[in-house]
Structure 1
Amino acid sequence: MLRILEVTPGATGVGIDLNEDDLARGRANAEERGLADRVRFVQESAVGTARGPADVVLCLSAGHALSDAQPPEHITAALHALRRLVTPGGRVVLGEGFWQRTPTPGELSAMWPDASPSEFHDLAGLVDIAVAAGFRPLWIETANGDEWEDFESAYQSDVEEWLAAHPDHPLAKETRDRVDRHRGMWLRGYRDVMGLAYLTLVPVN
């Protein structure tokens, strides 16, 4: 959202989340970019919010927050919620996971608990759901391998550096177990199996 505001003079934005730490980080980033007077961060659920509709609605890997349904049914509910939040002729940018190919039993066992082949659609199925929910797909993109590696490495790099400097810290074992488990999920589980799609959607009148 902040990147969009930087290149769109006069535009304003609202960030909605239930996690106050994430909202505080957003406020700090906005202040650092000189955007604090054009953006608000509010602690509430986007489900049933009275805010909006907006010209651009971003939902990046957060569709699960818009529905209590189990994956992958949550995507349909999330798209209907997003449909209500966007103006006619506006845009929804949806970031959602999909299977690049059906995972093997070994790959599933290395992922998160209870990982299942039915948890995601393939890319075509994800786009079909967006169309059925009342959108037309203007642009279909997917994260490439370099982007995945950048994300996964950056996600844990500060913790890895801390572990290297504090191997005997009282919290080291717990922290080491957590990051080792996550790295294993990625490298032995969903790497080159799960993709991330970015769909730019326009609502049908």
Structure 2
Amino acid sequence: MERQLISHIAHDDHPIAAPVSEAHLNRLLTRAKLPTGARILDLGCGEAEWTLRALELHPGSVADGVDISEHGLTAARKAADRRGLSDRIHLHNTPAADFTGTGPYDLVLCVGATHAYGDLTRTLHAVRHHLRPGGLALVGEGFWETTPTPEVLTGLGAHPDDYADLPGTVTLAESAGYATVYAHTSERAEWDEYEWSWTGTLTNWALDHPGPDGDAALAAARDHRDMWLNGYRDILGFVTLLLRRTG
């Protein structure tokens, strides 16, 4: 069963697709204070919940959403139609790193998708090319809450240098030519809601679809839950930075 489909199913009950609550999502997007007619770009948009919410909160704005998951983009199109936003968003099935865009944009989002560029620093340099001078980036990235054990690193398939700690993450962002104007550090309750939703939604789907795909989905849900509960819980954090381009 392909990984993109597993991720799509698992996020069905949590379309924000990050350990961020609706209240904090709205706060982050509202703090952007976008002008009327703002142009928005979401790199790695998935089902485009962040983008669609931004369009709802900022009347007159328009957006481009970019992702390689056809499952996610199909869901995004349906959600845009349902919410009356299909004429304000254009969705592109292409790798984020290959998207040239029609910038400059007032706001560029890349939440939980820095792997598309390799790491946070390269992501922020790429985002800068899409931003107008003084424009805003909303970037969600993991960080080490505490030093990861070798077992956690093995479970995540990660290296200690894949993430910095929280101060180091802010420093990396600002070294790439930004000023931090707001941020949200995900709370434990948000992480728990996200992980229980991810594993539970996938488990429900697996039980409703007996057979090879159901077996694969159930195994993925149990492996993920074990990796979280017995591994990176309280070790891996997540911060969403609202950054203003300088220079």
TM-score, with structure 1 as normaliser: 0.88
Is 2:142 aligned against 1:97? yes
| Counterpart position of 2:245 | 203
**Does the 8 Å CA contact 2:77/2:86 hold for their aligned counterparts?**
yes
Aligned residues: 196
Give the deviation of 1:86 after TM superposition. Answer: 1.1
Q: Which secondary structure state, in structure 2, belongs to the residue aligned with residue 196 of structure 1?
A: strand
Of 187-196 and 49-58, the range deviating more from structure 2: 49-58
Partner amino acid, structure 2, of 1:199: L
Which of 128, 149, 156 is the equivalent residue of 1:112? 156
Aligned CA RMSD, in angstroms, stands at 1.7
Q: Deviations over 1:139-183 (max 9, x none)?
A: 1221111111111122132322234456x6344433322111111
1:15 equivalent among 32, 40, 65? 65
Alignment of 1:38-53 (within 5 A): 38-48=88-98, 49-53=100-104
Distance 2:221 2:136 in 1: 36
Asked if the contact 2:101/2:130 (under 8 Å) is kept, the reply is no
The structural deviation recorded for 1:103 is: 1.4
Which residues of structure 2 form unaligned runs of 5+?
A: 1-50
| Residue of 186, 196, 206 corresponding to 1:143 | 186
- 1:32 aligned residue: 82
| 2:205 is the counterpart of 1:162 | yes
Partner residue in 2 for 1:153: 196
Question: What is the alpha-carbon distance in structure 2 between the residues aligned to residue 151 and residue 8 of structure 1?
Answer: 26
Query: Which consecutive unaligned segments of at least 5 residues does structure 1 have?
Result: 68-73
Q: % of aligned pairs identical? A: 38
Quote how far apart the aligned CAs of 1:7 are: 1.3
* Distance change (3 Å), C-alpha of 1:173 and 1:44: closer
Residue 183 (structure 1) aligned with residue 225 (structure 2) = yes
Partner secondary structure for residue 156 of structure 2: coil
TM-score by length of 2: 0.74
1:75 to partner: Cα distance: 1.3
Q: 2: distance between equivalents of 1:145 and 1:127?
A: 20
